[in-house]
Structure formats: structure tokens, C-alpha cells
Amino acid sequence: MNALTGMAGGELAEPTTRPYSKWFDPHPRLGISMIDHLYNRLDGAYPHWWSANFASQQAIDNWAESWVEAFEDEGITPEDVAVGLRTCRVRYQKPPSCAEFIQACKPSADPVPAYHEAVEGIQARRKGELGAWSHPAIYWAAMLLARDLMTQSYGQVKDRWAAALKAQLARNEWADIPPPAPALPAPGQANLSKEDAARMLRELDALGMNKAAKPGEFDHLRWARRIMQRVDAGDKSLYALQIANAKEVLGLT
């Protein structure tokens, strides 16, 4: 049935004037517009319940214009609608409202499952893996809060996470998810060539960082002396506790 040009068994309604949208264009493969196709799919998923919502052709036209306007505002794509139809089958026993259907189209907008996906994705990337990302917005939101997501509970980050995810989803366009940085080898597992090892030793020697201290030469109080040097130089960034500890170990208190 072509839902927007006449109800089954009825006369064709007078054509209405609508703002242009691709959702009203005839689809070459479907033979009808995408919004017509969506009406038919929902009518098939909710037999009798769906069509019972529309008492006239004008009611169908009103539904189509309202939903298409919402799709345009929210950046809903045909691919999103396919996701929405699958989600509705398991989430809603009765026909969804416009808001419910849009939420079904973008399940990644739910911050709770997106949070768990983000945590697992960050862990995977730290191992040198790409991670499983259902939507690029989750990845980019996760990168903004990566440290907090890995060190704090969901209760501590849920508001910031929800805000970051919402902001990313609102962008409607996202850069590609980059490949992960190579994972660092575990201690003792590095495969370093003799040439690279020699080069690193030369660089450390040049920086004065590879000189072995003779017994009794290592200054265990160097950290305290450096703090006091910074105090004498007028460094105001030191904490009072740092200064007090340095003075104590140096016998200056």
C-alpha cells in the first residue's frame, strides 16, 4: 500500500504541499518513498494496532510530515531506520511513538551500554587492538574522558559521560576511528637489537643518565636539596608539606 497517496480501499487524497525531503522521494529499489515503506513495515510489525492509529488520510499525512521532520532534525538515516525496526521488535510490544522510534534508531545514545562499550574499547586499545565500537561518537566521547572512565566508577562519571556522549552524537559527522598505537611490550619481553641498545646507551651517556654511581656516592637527599634550592629561588608552586618534609630530612627544622 502507498500510505501517503491513499488508504487501502479508499479514494486518493488531494496532494499536499510539503517541505522537500529525500524521505518523500520515490526510492528506485522500493518503488515507493522511504516514509511509505516505513509505514508499511510498522503496519506489518504491529498488525491492526498500527493502522488503527489513523482514522483518515489526513492523519497519515500528519504522521509522515511529523516523523520526517523529526528524522531531518535528528539526522536519522535509512540505515538508522533499519536499526530502529530491529530494535522495536524486541523493545516495544505496541507501536512506538516518534521519540521512542528515534531512540530505537540510535541505541548508542543510551549512556549505560555505551559506557560499558567505551570501557571495553579503551582496554582493547591499550592492548594495541582497535576495539569494538558500535558508533564513532562513542569512541570520540570515550577519548575525551578516557582517564576518568578507567579510574572512576560509573556513578562518579555518569553525568559527564552522558553529556560528552550527547555532544558527540549531536555532531552528525565524525572522523574515522584511528588505528591504535602499538602496545608496549611486557617487562622483559622487548625485542631490542644490539644496534638499538647501543644507540640508546650512547644517548643516555650524552645526557649524563648512564653513569654508575660508586658505593656511597648516591645522594639520597638530593630531592630535598632540590626543593630547598627552588625555595631559595622564590618558587611559589611548592606545597607547604613538600617544604616541611625537605627541611625535616635535612635537619633544618
Do 87 and 152 belong to one domain?
Answer: no
Examine residue 205 and state whether it is found in any structural domain, yes or no: no
Q: 3-class DSSP state for residue 33? A: strand
Do 83 and 144 belong to one domain?
Answer: no
State which amino acid sits at residue 77: T
pLDDT of residue 160: 94
**59-75 per-position pLDDT tens digit:** 999 999 999 999 999 88
Number of domains in the chain: 3
Do 69 and 131 belong to one domain?
Answer: no
Q: What is the pTM of this model?
A: 0.47
Do 117 and 51 belong to one domain?
Answer: no
Examine residue 9 and state whether it is found in any structural domain, yes or no: no
Examine residue 245 and state whether it is found in any structural domain, yes or no: yes
Positions of the chain with pLDDT lower than 70, given as ranges: 1-19, 172, 183-193, 196-220, 253
Residues 74-106: b if buried by 16+ CB within 10 A, e if exposed:
bebeeebbebbbebbeeeeeebbeeebbbbbbb
* Residue found under cell 616541611: 244
Examine residue 241 and state whether it is found in any structural domain, yes or no: yes
Domain boundary among 86, 105, 124: 105
Task: Tell me what the pLDDT averaged over the chain comes to.
Answer: 81
Residue 241: give the domain boundaries: 220-253
Calpha distance 67→156 (Å, rounded): 36
- Identify which of 26, 84, 36 has the alpha carbon closest to the alpha carbon of residue 63: 36
Examine residue 161 and state whether it is found in any structural domain, yes or no: yes
Examine residue 59 and state whether it is found in any structural domain, yes or no: yes
User: What would you report as the CA-atom Rg of the chain, rounded to the nearest whole angstrom?
Assistant: 31
pLDDT of residue 206: 53
